[in-house]
Structure 1
Amino acid sequence: MKLLADRIALVTGASRGIGRAIAVRLAQDGAVVGVHYRLRDDEARQTLELIRAQGGDGFLVAADLADPTGASQLAEALIDKLRERRDPPLLDILVNNAGIDDRKTIEQVSEADFDRMLQINFKSPFFLIQKLLPVMADGGRIINISSIAARLSFPTMPVYAPTKAALSTLSRVLAAHLGSRGITVNAVLPGATSTDLNPAASDPERSSAIRDTVALGRIAEPGDIAPVVAFLASREGGWITGETIEASGGQRL
């Protein structure tokens, strides 16, 4: 039996990168996966095609998490999708993966830059959790994708790093709050991963300096992060909550 059979999951920012890898892996383990995207419907459909090509099931759900109303819109759209599959509508797994980075020093950051990153990286996940708690199944899983930047000092991440640190802290707070319902809440902190969000890690020449800081000697691929999330989402991960789990290959130990 697949570890996530009969489970329904939502993965935000699942049209590409780490989010896509997580969505595909959860579906491989038996979950029906809601593939959230903002604008890239073609890429979101590619994620869904990958899921279905491997015998999995899923659905698309769109919302702009840069908009202050985006979390509410996503929650409403998801609940409509859940009603099509369950009565009452219940969500088992929520993966808050959507995020943005804008590499600038503090002198270069505008107030608009700050507000947009805060909205997408922290405020939207916060309120998405709030809106979905009424339909979150007891014994469910909330997994927030933070970043190794939450513990390291990168001069060009004066906004990104604090927003990810806030997401990690929120995970601990909610783990205590939701424990009585059997809901686990954890944060996963990827290190340098070859995605659109981290062009330096994707560039063969620029990434060599980063590789030298990783104990395992290479840059991560999205598929390195997905199994960690899948474990936390599974029944086997049910005794882990309130943790920040670094998936970095031992970067800058």
Structure 2
Amino acid sequence: MSGKLAGRKALVTGGARGIGAAVARSSPLTGPTWRSTTGAAATRPKHLPPDRRRWSPGDIKADVSDPDQIQRLTDQAADALGGLDILASNAGIEHFGKLKAVTPADFDRVFAINTRGQFLAVQNAVRHMSEGGRIVLTSSASAHEAVFPHALYASSKAAVECIALNLSPELGRRGININAIAPGGTVTDMSDHAASQYVHPDIDADFHTVIRTASSLGRMGRPAEIAAVVSFLVSDDASFITGRTVQADGGWF
């Protein structure tokens, strides 16, 4: 691999589709791995060039809501790659629901994947990292803007930013940087299914009209644009940035 990340050993969770796939595809990372789930996420990313396919969704499957599978995922990746330099934690699920409709099972599932899964991914990955390690967690613009009815999802992502902030001094002692990224509306299959739910029920407009009028750039982001921010955060160019969340949201206001 060429570029500033040449020779780095990276684990990408949630890399079978959407933003995670863009991170694995466009970032010059050595030996990225993909987490497969069911349905569309289990489809092999054939758009990757041949030399980037040595890991596929079928090689390492893991459900990040299961602590044992997270440990297995990170250990297998580290064993195969000879250690880990980078963790790009992207696996997550969406959720909309009014307060009265949210069940304990909903709460546990969303936090198990979006929050606990990312925390445990860090816990396990750093066992294989040395000085110079880089970690990027995935939050959301929803952690910074009120969306109706999105409290459960948004709080699970806001917690991720607190994880990055509060682990930064601990991991900093080992020379490991940890940050988070908070993407805004991004063109993915997840956004295709959830877009209409981001519009407040009292607003007589479709989602794309809202984006045009409430975003400084007037459009949704592209997965490759979010991946570029991740690439920066895991590079040596970001060596003096840790514990921070980068809002890549197109200037949402």
What TM-score bracket applies, with the shorter chain setting the length? 0.7 to 0.9
1:87-112 Cα distance to aligned partner (Å, 9 max, x none): xxx10110110001111111111111
Superposition pairs of residues 74-113 of structure 1, within 5 angstroms: 74-82=73-81, 86=82, 90-113=83-106
Task: Tell whether the 8 Å contact from 1:216 to 1:249 is kept in structure 2 after alignment.
Answer: yes
| Alignment CA distance shift 1:100-1:57 (3 Å) | same
Instruction: Tell me which residue corresponds to 1:37.
Output: 36
Instruction: Tell me which residue corresponds to 2:221.
Output: 220
Percent identity of equivalent pairs: 37
Instruction: Tell me which residue corresponds to 2:108.
Output: 115
Unaligned runs of 5+ in 1: none
Q: Secondary structure at the match of 1:94?
A: strand
Which moves more between the two structures, 200-209 or 101-110? 200-209
CA separation in 1, counterparts of 2:115 and 2:212? 29
Greater per-residue strand proportion: 1
Instruction: Tell me which residue corresponds to 2:69.
Output: 70
Superposition pairs of residues 46-65 of structure 1, within 5 angstroms: 46=45, 49-53=46-50, 55-56=51-52, 58-60=54-56, 61-65=60-64
CA separation in 2, counterparts of 1:239 and 1:57? 32
1:33-74 Cα distance to aligned partner (Å, 9 max, x none): 11222235875521xx33324x54541321011334332232
1:122-156 Cα distance to aligned partner (Å, 9 max, x none): 11111121122210132010000100111111122
CA separation in 2, counterparts of 1:240 and 1:58? 31
CA separation in 1, counterparts of 2:38 and 2:176? 31
Q: CA RMSD in A?
A: 2.2
Task: Tell whether the 8 Å contact from 1:194 to 1:201 is kept in structure 2 after alignment.
Answer: no
Pick the aligned partner of 1:175 from 168, 179, 198: 168
Q: Secondary structure at the match of 1:34?
A: coil
Unaligned runs of 5+ in 2: 198-204
1:7 and 2:4 are equivalent in the alignment: no
Corresponding residue pairs, total = 241
Residue 219 of structure 1 aligns with an amino acid whose one-letter code is: M
CA separation in 2, counterparts of 1:68 and 1:132? 13
Task: Tell whether the 8 Å contact from 1:13 to 1:37 is kept in structure 2 after alignment.
Answer: yes
1:182-217 Cα distance to aligned partner (Å, 9 max, x none): 211101000111222223449995322223110011
Instruction: Tell me which residue corresponds to 2:24.
Output: 23
1:140 and 2:103 are equivalent in the alignment: no
Task: Tell whether the 8 Å contact from 1:145 to 1:187 is kept in structure 2 after alignment.
Answer: yes
CA separation in 2, counterparts of 1:202 and 1:137? 44
CA separation in 2, counterparts of 1:140 and 1:244? 17
Q: Secondary structure at the match of 1:198?
A: helix
Q: TM-score, normalised by structure 1?
A: 0.87
CA separation in 1, counterparts of 2:10 and 2:55? 10
| Alignment CA distance shift 1:30-1:159 (3 Å) | closer
CA separation in 2, counterparts of 1:81 and 1:109? 41
Residue 22 of structure 2 aligns with an amino acid whose one-letter code is: A
Q: TM-score, normalised by structure 2?
A: 0.87
1:251 and 2:247 are equivalent in the alignment: no
CA separation in 1, counterparts of 2:100 and 2:191? 21
